[in-house]
Amino acid sequence: MEKEPGEHETSAGRAGTPPAVLIRGLWKRYGEQVAVAGIDLELPAGRFIGLVGPNGAGKTTTLSMVTGLLRPDSGTVEVGGHDVWGDPVAVKARIGVLPEGLRLFERLSGRELLDYTGRLRGLAADEVDKRATQLLDVLDLAGSQHKLVVDYSTGMRKKIGLAAALLHNPEVLFLDEPFEGVDPVSAQTIRGVLERYTRSGATVVFSSHVMELVESLCDWVAVLAAGRIRAQGPLAEVRGAAPSLQDAFLELVGANDRAAGHDLDWLGGGAR
C-alpha cells in the first residue's frame, strides 16, 4: 500500500489527504476508434462529483476503467491512494459501483440480491440483514423486496442497484447514469440518499448528460467530450461567466454555434 513514492507530489487534496480518485494518462482504443484519449483527472474526496459529456464522450468507458471492470490500454488509476490494478483488495473494498447497461442477477428478489452481494462482500449475515432492511426501507423498495428484480421497473432497478452498491459502505461510489429512465419520485429518493451519503464525508462520482441535474446536485464537475477532459474543477469555476452549466458545456464542446434548423421552416402552424 505504501508502494507509490509519487503519491504525495500528485495529490492536491485538502491538507494532505489523497484525492478520492487520481487518473493519469488513461487511454482506451477499440480498433481504429479512440474511446478515451489520455485522461488526467484528480477528483477531490468528500464531494458530489459530476462527470458530464454528450453521448459517446467516453463516460461509461472511463468509469468502467476506473472501477476495474475494463482494462485500460495505458494509464494508471488510484482510488484513495491505492492502485486499481495493482492493489484490487484495497480498492474493491473501498468502492461501490452502479454500472449502466450491465445486468444484475435479476432472477433473485430484491432482498436476495442484497443478501447475495453483502455476503460476497464478506459481511456477516445479521449485518447484511440489518443494512438491507434499512436500505430497502429508505429506497422505498420494502413492498417489492420479495419480487424478482427481473419484474422491477427501471427506477426500481436503479434503486436496488444503488442499495447493492452502498451495502458495504464504500468510500467512493461510482454511478453511471443513475437517473436515466428514472421517474421523478424515485429520482428524488436516490438524490436524498446520495446527499446524506456525501454529507458523511464519502465521495460520489456520477455520470450524466443532463446538465440541470448535475448543476443542482454537484459541487465539482468534469466535462468530457470525445474522450478528453475539457474542463474540471468546482462547479462555479467550470461554469465561469456562462448563465448556466448547460451554456458553459455547449461552449466547451463547441456545439453552441449550430444554427437552429433553417430547413424545417414548413414545420408547425400555417399550410399543411
Partner 1 sequence: MTATGSLTAPAPLTALFVRLKLSLLRNGLRQSAKRRAAYIGSVVFTLLFAALQLLGLIALRGHDHAAALVTVLAAVFALGWAVMPLFFPSGDETLDPTRLVMLPLRPRPLVLALLVSSLIGIGPLFTLTLAVGSVIAVAHGAAAAAAGVLAVVLTMLLCAALARAVATANTRLLSSRRGRDLALLSGLFVAVGAQLLNVGVGKLSGENGLASLEPVADVLRWVPPAAAFDAVQGVSDGSYGPAAAQFALSAAALALLLWWWQRGLTHLMTSPDSSTIQAAEPRRERPAGARPALHRLLPDDRTGTVVLRTLRYAWRDPKTKSAWVTSLAVGLLVPFVTTVQGGGSVYTACWAAGLLGMQMYNQFGQDSSAFWMVAQTISSPRDAYLELRGRALALALVGVPYVTLVVLGSAALMDEWAAAPEALGLALALFGALVATGAMTSALYPYSIPQDSGYKNVVPAQAGLAWAGIFGGMLTGAALCAPLIGATIWMHTAGADDRLWLLLPLGAAYGAALALAGLRLAAPRVAARLPEILTAVTKG
Q: Name the β-bridge partners of 82.
A: 79
Of 117, 189, 198, 207, the one binding partner 1 (CB under 8 A) is: 117
User: Does 103 engage in binding with partner 1 (CB under 8 A)?
Assistant: yes
Question: Which x/- pattern, by CB under 8 A, does the window 43-72 give for partner 1?
Answer: ------------------------xxxxx-
User: Does 261 engage in binding with partner 1 (CB under 8 A)?
Assistant: no
Question: Which x/- pattern, by CB under 8 A, does the window 156-175 give for partner 1?
Answer: --------x-----------
Q: Name the β-bridge partners of 33.
A: 30
Using the structure block, give the residue that is written with the C-alpha cell 432497478: 157
Using the structure block, give the residue that is written with the C-alpha cell 408547425: 268
User: Does 36 engage in binding with partner 1 (CB under 8 A)?
Assistant: no
* Half-sphere exposure for 77 (CA within 13 Å, toward CB): 25
Of 144, 198, 207, 208, the one binding partner 1 (CB under 8 A) is: 144
In the complex, least distance from residue 8 CB atom to partner 1, rounded to whole angstroms: 25
User: Does 82 engage in binding with partner 1 (CB under 8 A)?
Assistant: no
Nearer to partner 1, 89 or 271 (CB): 89
DSSP per position, 146-175: TSBGGGS-HHHHHHHHHHHHHTT--SEEEE
Cite the beta strand spans of 31-182 per DSSP E: 33-43, 48-52, 74-79, 82-83, 95-98, 172-176
DSSP conformation class of 109: B
Q: Which helix (H) or strand (E) holds 220?
A: strand 220-225
User: Does 147 engage in binding with partner 1 (CB under 8 A)?
Assistant: yes
User: Does 268 engage in binding with partner 1 (CB under 8 A)?
Assistant: no
| Residues that bind partner 1 in the complex, under the rule CB under 8 A | 67-71, 88-89, 91-93, 97, 99, 101-109, 112, 115-117, 119-122, 124-125, 129, 133, 143-144, 146-148, 150-151, 164
